[in-house]
């Protein structure tokens, strides 16, 4: 994947995307007891289908769905959504974090979440990476 594509995708997330990182209580099992469950998800929604399809093709993860406009909505265009969750979201976050600005705090939380769970020493420290990259381009 080209670096310019990664930067463009990061821009899409900053402008049109949503990053969900939240722990909730969810009922599971036969006893219907509630357990803490993480909701980790990335989403980009827009009316331009070609961009959503391109995003899905380039990232090779997630799914594409469409949502018809509501009868009372001002805009009458179809909305297209790309979504991925959990480990796929982690991989996308690792890819786009160097170019993210607005969504960076939540992206960092997702990366840290999986780095702590896996003891993954392949995940770089975000602040150190940015500092090294800045020194290279000076």
Give φ, ψ of 69 to 5 degrees: -65, 145
Q: How many helices (H) and strands (E) does the chain have?
A: 5, 4
Residue 104 in this model has a pLDDT that exceeds 70? yes
Task: Return the H-helix or E-strand segment holding 9.
Answer: helix 3-16
Which has the higher per-residue pLDDT, 52 or 117?
52
pLDDT in tens, 16-38: 999 999 988 888 777 778 888 88
The CATH number of 3-136, from 3.40.50.2000, 3.40.109.10, 3.40.50.720, 3.10.28.10, is 3.10.28.10
Based on C-alpha coordinates, what's the Rg of the chain? Answer: 17
Domain boundaries, the chain: 3-136
8 Å CB contact between 23 and 80 = no
Give CA angle at 17 (25, 130), nearest 5°.
95
Answer with the residue of higher pLDDT: 133 or 27: 27
DSSP 8-class letter at 47: S
User: For residue 89, how far is the Cα from the chain centroid?
Assistant: 5
- What pLDDT score was predicted for residue 130? 61
Query: What is the reported pLDDT for 127?
Result: 63
Q: Is the pLDDT of residue 96 over 60?
A: yes
The closest of 99, 117, 102, 100 to 40, measured between CA atoms, is 117
Flag whether pLDDT at 99 surpasses 90.
yes
């Amino acid at each position: 994947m080209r670096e310019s594509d990664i930067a463009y995708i990061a821009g899409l997330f900053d402008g049109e995307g949503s990053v969900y990182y939240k722990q909730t209580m969810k009922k599971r099992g036969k006893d219907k007891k509630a357990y803490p469950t993480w909701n980790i998800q990335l989403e980009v929604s827009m009316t331009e289908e070609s961009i959503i399809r391109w995003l899905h093709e380039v990232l090779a993860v997630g799914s594409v769905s469409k949502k018809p406009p509501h009868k009372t909505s001002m805009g009458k265009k179809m909305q297209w959504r790309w979504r991925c969750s959990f480990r796929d979201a982690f991989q996308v976050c690792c890819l786009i974090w160097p170019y993210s600005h607005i969504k960076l705090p939540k992206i960092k939380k997702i990366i840290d979440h999986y780095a702590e769970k896996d003891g993954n020493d392949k995940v770089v420290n975000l602040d150190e990476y940015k500092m090294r990259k800045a020194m290279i381009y000076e």
